[in-house]
Amino acid sequence: MKGFTKGFIISSLAYLVFTGILGAAFIPISNIPNDIAISTYGLLVSVVHSFLLGFVTMMIFGVSYHLIPLFSERDFYSPFLAFIHLALSNIGTLGIIIFMLFLNYAVVKISALIVVLSLLVFVFNMFFTFLSSPRQSEIHNPFGKGDKEADKAAINFTRWSIIYLLIGCPLGAAMFFKPALIADFRPIHAHINLMGFVSLMIFGVSYHMFPRFAQRPLFSVKMARWQFWLANIGLIGMAISWWFAGSVSSAGRHSYFRTHRNSGRLPLCL
Ligand code: HEM
Ligand code: HEM
């Protein structure tokens, strides 16, 4: 396993431990007055991002860095850039989750931009990796030869997953720069990242791996292609309608959910 792959996996596990510690901190913090340095709001945003941006996203990158050379049959364009990606994403993520605790927005904003920059480094590296010619000598692929058609569908999922991350993270940064956007953008940001980036990545990796684990071809590649379009159209439709609903009736929508939340009669999944 390459150093940067290991780096992402170790970082991911460290964020998992950190998330547990931050989560446990809710108990003492909820008992101290609000004007003390650490706010529960900051802690909430820190916990969410320690888990999702730290643990989940870094684990996805660790696994991707391991699998991409096997499936694409290409070496990375630049291992050095992979290390830069690792360093920048750790600096940015730590900056967000530590300084959000103290509501130090100046550092949080810079950290958010560093995370966005780290993603651009990753995309640049991937772009030139896929442009390079395939490796002449075969490397041992423990998963064996794939089913090419299923792999093509899988690559579409993973490609779009990264595109959603590239949209979702700048939306997050935009909310730090302009907090007035939070009411309208938060559900869009959450779903673009969770349904777009995380879920599509899980689908893509599953379409790669399951046929290999089961040692038989995918039941229907056509269904995988349909799922791809349904997932994308549904997500984009949700994001656009949230944007529209937000710009027309954001205040009403939020007070509606708040009323139901306070009354204990929560509709739907809330
Ligand atoms: C550069 C990276 C990111 C930045 C700057 C960022 C920023 C933000 C901000 C400003 C909020 C609103 C906080 C509030 O409620 O006031 C937020 C919420 C949220 N973010 Fe991110 N985010 C980033 C990456 C991610 C990623 C990668 C995920 C998921 C994989 C994610 C998931 C969420 C979720 C689920 C919420 C809603 C949490 C809640 O209900 O309070 N974010 N983010
Ligand atoms: C058909 C699929 C889905 C629908 C229709 C849906 C719908 C919703 C709605 C209506 C809200 C409340 C938004 C608001 O505050 O205005 C919400 C919040 C949320 N959903 Fe979903 N959701 C779906 C799938 C998912 C999935 C797959 C995930 C995670 C992987 C997810 C994670 C979240 C999170 C973290 C929030 C809180 C965001 C916030 O604080 O603003 N949702 N969802």
151 vs 154: CA distance, rounded Å: 5
Q: Tens digit of pLDDT per residue, the chain (270 long)?
A: 789 999 999 999 999 999 999 998 877 766 665 555 556 788 899 999 999 999 999 999 999 888 877 777 777 888 999 999 999 999 999 999 999 998 899 999 999 999 999 999 999 998 888 777 777 666 666 666 666 788 888 889 988 999 999 999 999 999 999 988 888 889 999 999 999 999 999 999 899 888 888 878 888 999 999 999 999 999 999 999 888 876 444 554 454 444 444 443 333 322
Nearest ligand to the C-alpha of residue 168?
A: 1
Ligand 2 pocket test target in 164, 165, 191, 238 with most atoms within 8 Å of CB = 191
Our answer on whether the CB atom of 191 is closer than 6 Å to any ligand 2 atom is: yes
Task: Report phi then psi at 130, rounded to 5.
Answer: -75, -20
**190: Cβ below 6 Å to ligand 1?**
yes
Ligand 2 contacts CB of residue 195 (under 6 A): yes
Token pair of 211, please?
Answer: 């046929």
The answer to whether the CB of 85 is under 6 A from ligand 1 is no
CA distance 68 to 185: 32
User: What pLDDT is recorded for position 216?
Assistant: 81
To test ligand 2's pocket by mutation, which of 48, 203, 253, 269 has the most ligand atoms within 8 angstroms of CB? 269
Identify the pLDDT of residue 166. 95
- Cβ–ligand 1 contact at 185 (below 6 Å): no
- Report the amino acid identity of residue 75: D
Report the atom number in ligand 1 closest to the C-alpha of 173. 5
Q: Is 85 in the pocket of ligand 2 (CB under 6 A)?
A: no
CA of 176 to the centre of ligand 2 (A): 20
Q: Does 48 contact ligand 1 (Cβ within 6 A)?
A: yes
CB of residue 90 inside a 6 A radius of ligand 1: no
Give the domain ranges of the chain.
1-142, 143-249
Nearest ligand to the CA of 231 is 2
Residues 144, 211: contact at Cβ < 8 Å?
Answer: no
Ligand 1 centroid to Cα of residue 185, in Å, is 10
Give which of 174, 84, 156 is closest to 122, Cα–Cα. 84
CA-based angle 139:144:148, to the nearest 5?
A: 100
- CB of 189 within 6 A of ligand 1: the answer is yes
Q: Is the CB of 100 under 6 A from ligand 1?
A: no
Nearest CA to ligand 1 atom 26: 53
In the reported structure, the alpha carbon of residue 42 is separated from the centroid of ligand 1 by a whole-number distance in angstroms of 12
What is the C-alpha separation between 93 and 132, in angstroms, rounded? 31
Query: What's the gap in Å between 256 CA and the centre of ligand 1?
Result: 22
- How far apart (Å, rounded) are the C-alpha atoms in residues 146 and 212? 7
* Collapsed DSSP state (helix, strand, coil) of residue 182: helix
